[in-house]
Structure formats: structure tokens, C-alpha cells
Structure 1
């Protein structure tokens, strides 16, 4: 019998967005997500570039991890930066979808991912 691997994907929140999300228990995402019609996620290997490209002006972020298996057909893998496939969620994100989260703080002008962040669990 083979080993079943579960994939994690990651959503980056500004602290105020996270606060509203935890209060409401659901979110349609950031303004860019709402405008695009889906919630943007990244694989672990895409996180540093995503933070650099879209979050470099912020000192604090919240990183949330979700298992792809929770999203069924609402999750689509679509090409974005340099043709890389990125996960896009075509429904609201629920607090029940979150496996874990952590606060990220910029140090010396850069973010560091927590030890052990990877795509497969």
C-alpha cells in the first residue's frame, strides 16, 4: 500500500485582514482576490517570491496553511508568474479550512519562513 501525501498551500494575510477573517469565520480574500474572482494561494516553493513581489511594503504578515484536499473542485491550478501553476480558490475561504497559521515579521528587510514549511505533509 502506498503512502498518501497531502499537499499544503498557503495564503498570506495582512494582520488586519486576518483579524476580520477570524472574527467573521470566512473571507472572500483581499481586494485583489475579490477583483480577480478567486483567492490567491501559493505553494511553499512560491512563497518567498510572492512575499517579495506583493508584500514588501509590510512589516508583519500572517501565513495560513490549508490542505488542498479540503477544496475539491473549487481549487484550480492556473498559470501565472513565468508560467508557473498557482492554486486559486473559487469560493470563500473558511476558518475550518485553515490547518495552521503563524505570524511573520520582517527582519533586516526580509521575511523568513518558519522552519518546516513545505508542501507535502
Structure 2
């Protein structure tokens, strides 16, 4: 099994996903603007949270199983700092989502990731 990838959602976008997970998630307004759904690897999450979710105190984190995605639609493309980020050019099927975790900012001001609490 390949390492999972992660989708960060505002609470509003999470409500849209949770309302109909079987229909799949078409993405946020930023995803629609760019033409694909943005994902991060585990190593990229802290940077993505810092760069794009500064104004939020809570977000939802979807852990996504790569094998559950249409392989032809998942592309690894250069983005921030020359890193390769996973981009999905399709709807995110609900069956590919392994879990949803609510992330909150810790006392440091940074979001606390699920594996940091165990």
C-alpha cells in the first residue's frame, strides 16, 4: 500500500463533503479555480496549513488512500518550492477517504496533526 495523501478542508467544505460522501467531493472554490483537487503528503502538510489556512482555527483533514483514486486522474506536479504535490483531476470518491480528523491549533499556534497526539 502506498502512503496516504491528505486533503485539508475548511469546516464549510467539510460539511459539503459529509453531506454526500457517496457522490464524491468536487473540491473547494480554490480547487475549482485551479481545475484539480489539491492534496499534500504527510511531509507537506505543515507547510500547506501555514501557507493557506492562516485565518482558521479549525479545519478537517481527510486521509485518502491513493489506491482508491482513479490512477489516470492523479498527477504529481511541481508546486511550492519545486516539490511534487498530488493533484486529482476528478471528483474525490468518498470510498477513498480512510478517515476525517478535526484539526485545531495548539498552544504554539500551529495545527496539531493526528499523529502528534498519540
TM-score (norm 1): 0.87
Show the counterpart of 2:89.
90
Aligned length: 113
Q: Is the 8 A contact 1:22 1:95 kept in 2?
A: no
Q: Which residue of 45, 48, 71 corresponds with 2:46? A: 48
Give runs of ≥4 in structure 1 deviating > 2 Å: none
Where 1:29 maps in the other structure, the secondary structure is coil
Distance 2:80 2:115 in 1: 25
Structure 1: 5+ residue runs without aligned partners?
Answer: 117-121
Show the counterpart of 1:115.
115
Distance 1:84 1:23 in 2: 33
As a proportion of its length, which structure holds more strand? 1
- TM-fit CA distance, 1:28: 1.3
Show the counterpart of 1:119.
none
Matched, 1:21 2:17: yes
Where 1:88 maps in the other structure, the secondary structure is strand
As a proportion of its length, which structure holds more helix? 2
Show the counterpart of 1:6.
2
Distance 1:33 1:110 in 2: 24
Moved more, 25-34 or 39-48: 25-34
Structure 2: 5+ residue runs without aligned partners?
Answer: none
